[in-house]
Chain A
């Protein structure tokens, strides 16, 4: 299959055929027995619009950027490159580009709260020039970053002997002002009556800048703070290119990228009395095409589509998507497992993908009676919900993603597994892969799989929490509830997946 081709070439064949996933790359691979530092655990992954860059955020507040190496030689227009026919086996390859400390741990003195530095979400912004722009957020504060190559300047041939200048202008200025009253401090400047000769001063010259070595620099351009009382779970950039939203448990705020000192609250689900609280916001995203539409999901398993044109305060939704629960199936866990942990719009804007604890659901925004497709991810865990509740795993928030062509969906699971489903009409594709160098290891395996197959990778971690966290299902397969694959992202134009297994970033292609 032609992986490198444009998506139009890929669509007709790619939809039906089962993809054969291959390992591509791993960053930050653990050696056997290596203990994972909490701060190194990846907490967010995002490709940029073109797929040429990938960003990860971790619990230590760092953002790491990767850039694609296989297509671009930094010559020629990107569009020309896209038209070129790649060799058959080309697939996206990335290399480490740079990293920076996006957030630091903080302490809110007013509320006596510690604010973790963990990066909850990263979103790329449209680039207005060659530099890269992205938003990153922790629980409370959103930051707007610019990453750019900056020339390292070296000055020579200054007018004033650098040994005399030593420190900086003000000192020179003040020493001058004692000898000559005409000049004022700070670099000094002759007053307006200072007479300039016609031929000016030939002895003055401009400093010469040498050395054009460049350096990647990340600069925080804006900080959007103090707008959230609860923890921010999502940020999403609008297609109009000038606004974005940030959502916490109870509210969604609308920001202008250029204005950091004010935001508008557009959704507020906080009840007058907090005891009446039954539902919180779990995720929110802008429609990819229509700048006035956004969707947010709730802990009760519903997705609300709102139209910002209708009203300044969007507390009333224009469409509600939820699945009617089957009568009689209700149990203690029904509401917990219905909670949606992530929603994503497909690129076409027509479909939405949602992930709850047990399933992935694909919705058509024109059909609010129920999902168009439901994919079982954790059905085998249903008998174990009690254990999962006991060890809090039932509250894990798995992310989901769609392929750029909208024909496949993917989401993570336990034991560093992730699943890919075909969602085109008639597709039965359902692949389980493991985030390791041999992703297809799980394929076709059934009950015979020995429990030690997880090997040393997870042994260390598992020991900490003991038997609580692993379980054996009816087939005898072990699930390790501490090694969970929460975050993954699909390349916007090719069949390439990036997934985070603890502190390692695994990349696959098909």
Chain B
């Protein structure tokens, strides 16, 4: 065994642990690969470390994933771009493992390295690598190769380019659906690097193959390619080649394919231009909005706003809006929910008049939906509609909806509405809030479920931030402090928590005059949990209040608690005392 100087000892251990039996230690070493490389120097990294790693291909996925990631940024450690090619072999092996996330990461790293490599190196090393993977016996290699063509292609000489296109075309017809799927997924990226004449011939024929694949799982990925290719082609080519495909897809037998179309369609509108959009895409989209399959309607409904933004308002009102009306009473709650999450965004598109006339009734009916998610989604996007027509028109319906959600029997629904209260407060204004919602906020502090009480305490703080300390002094603080006398200690604890959150917002004066006395008082509580929480709260108040207050009020109280019979109380009290010592020392 070699003797290692002490400063090198940690690095030596790190190197040894590259092959340790404990996976955590191996992972740790791999994450520190750059340190190891710097310790070994560039030359030995190239000649020893990288070959050493190349053998390490049967390790656990976590280690392989970390390795794939580290190697992607390793160029500086092997001596710069001119040596980048030494990094390719270990990544090539990682491209063939069965775990998808490792392969994806290896491909990503290869792309990152390839993008920096010199052109002659790409031709000499990178392109042969892509060809080797593409000819791999196992489908994992072929799957990975698809993601590398867009890096290899631009620097390839003409003959090689032809060959690469031919290989990619084979992938589009591979026996394994996994390879065809990968080819479909990466087609857009590859097409972006291919010259225009080949794009129209070679790439389009590959695209045709994929769009006619037997397997749904391949066809639906080809839908992705529609939008990507559409953006590359001239508008007239797009109309001639892509448009018929997408219109066909929108009537595919498989709902999964139609689902993809519903998600992608709006992206194609710009590529084909306004006239084909009006004549072909709008009818296709309307069909999808009225699809038999709820999943397709969900996807289509979710894109209503994006689609309308591209169209001119008349088209939207004439064609899309009637569908939206139907969807607002759809039999599937998930469709209504998807619609509710985006429909508010239509208001700016349609303008004030159309919104009041057409959209408002839909908003109102969705606000009364029996399914809480629908109502929540409407409320969460209230600001968008407020900008267009103001809140007044909605407020009448809004309040009952909020109250009902606030009292929903599912705590997750209550939690969701609490999260929106600060937004509502800012949109509705102080006046409205005082009258209607203030009481609700207090009620949540006494909820049966901890998560709700916790969120309620946070909510109180955010309201104080929104409306300012003066308002909070009037409308929140007294009510909150009142509840410290609740007979149940869990509720008293919530109040302590709320106080600790409020203090920084309210500032030193109010904290000293109003909040602190309550906390000090609570230190006499009979429940130890309250007492040690008092200690924690006092610790959090130390930086906020004046030094003299700490000396006069907080420390005596903590000293008293530090002699409490309960061990936990003593622990937190002494911890708080320690921190007050530190604050004093630093000041």
- Interface status of A201 (Cβ within 8 A of chain B): yes
- Interface status of A105 (Cβ within 8 A of chain B): no
Contact of A190 among B11, B18, B139, B140 (CB under 8 A): B11
From DSSP, what is the main secondary structure of chain B's interface residues? helix
CA distance A129 to B96 in the complex (A): 7
Please give me the residue from chain A that is nearest to B40 by CB atom: A200
Report whether B48 and A168 are in contact in the complex, using a CB–CB cutoff of 8 Å: no
- Interface status of B7 (Cβ within 8 A of chain A): yes
CA distance A133 to B13 in the complex (A): 36
Contacts of A201 in B (CB 8 A): 8, 11, 39-41
Chain B: minimal CB distance from A313 (Å): 8
Interface 9-residue window, one of B292-300, B320-328, B417-425: B292-300
Contacts of A126 in B (CB 8 A): 139, 176
Chain A: minimal CB distance from B447 (Å): 26
Chain B: minimal CB distance from A252 (Å): 17
Contacts of B178 in A (CB 8 A): 128, 241-242
Report whether B293 and A311 are in contact in the complex, using a CB–CB cutoff of 8 Å: yes
Please give me the residue from chain A that is nearest to B29 by CB atom: A187
Interface size of A in residues (CB-CB distance below 8 Å) = 59
- Interface status of B253 (Cβ within 8 A of chain A): yes
Interface residues in B288-320 by Cβ distance below 8 A to A read 292-295
Total A-B pairs, Cβ < 8 A: 171
Please give me the residue from chain B that is nearest to A162 by CB atom: B1
Report whether B98 and A146 are in contact in the complex, using a CB–CB cutoff of 8 Å: yes
Report whether A291 and B16 are in contact in the complex, using a CB–CB cutoff of 8 Å: no
- Interface status of B131 (Cβ within 8 A of chain A): no
CA distance A396 to B536 in the complex (A): 66
Interface 9-residue window, one of B183-191, B213-221, B386-394: B213-221
Contacts of B19 in A (CB 8 A): 153, 155, 207, 209
Interface 9-residue window, one of A90-98, A178-186, A376-384: A178-186
Contacts of A190 in B (CB 8 A): 7, 10-11, 35
Q: What 1/0 mask marks residues of chain A from 138 to 171 whose CB sits below 8 Å from any chain B CB?
A: 0000000010101101010011111001001100
CA distance A308 to B252 in the complex (A): 13
Contacts of B12 in A (CB 8 A): 159-160, 204
Chain B: minimal CB distance from A150 (Å): 6
- Interface status of A386 (Cβ within 8 A of chain B): no
Please give me the residue from chain A that is nearest to B216 by CB atom: A292
Chain A: minimal CB distance from B184 (Å): 13
Interface size of B in residues (CB-CB distance below 8 Å) = 62
- Interface status of A199 (Cβ within 8 A of chain B): yes
- Interface status of A309 (Cβ within 8 A of chain B): yes
Chain A: minimal CB distance from B10 (Å): 3
- Interface status of B100 (Cβ within 8 A of chain A): yes
CA distance A36 to B1 in the complex (A): 55
Contact of A133 among B16, B98, B139 (CB under 8 A): B98
Contacts of B9 in A (CB 8 A): 160, 172, 176, 183, 188
CA distance A172 to B12 in the complex (A): 11
Chain A: minimal CB distance from B332 (Å): 11
Contacts of B4 in A (CB 8 A): 159-160, 203-204
Report whether A160 and B16 are in contact in the complex, using a CB–CB cutoff of 8 Å: yes
Chain B: minimal CB distance from A442 (Å): 43
Report whether B98 and A200 are in contact in the complex, using a CB–CB cutoff of 8 Å: no
Contacts of B256 in A (CB 8 A): 308-309
- Give chain A's interface residues, CB within 8 Å of chain B: 77, 126-131, 133, 146, 148, 150-151, 153, 155, 158-162, 165, 168-169, 172-173, 176, 179-180, 182-183, 186-190, 196, 198-201, 203-207, 209, 239-242, 258, 289-292, 308-312
Query: Which 10 pairs of residues, A with B, have the shortest CB-CB distance?
Result: A188-B10, A200-B41, A159-B12, A309-B254, A128-B98, A161-B1, A128-B140, A240-B217, A158-B16, A312-B295
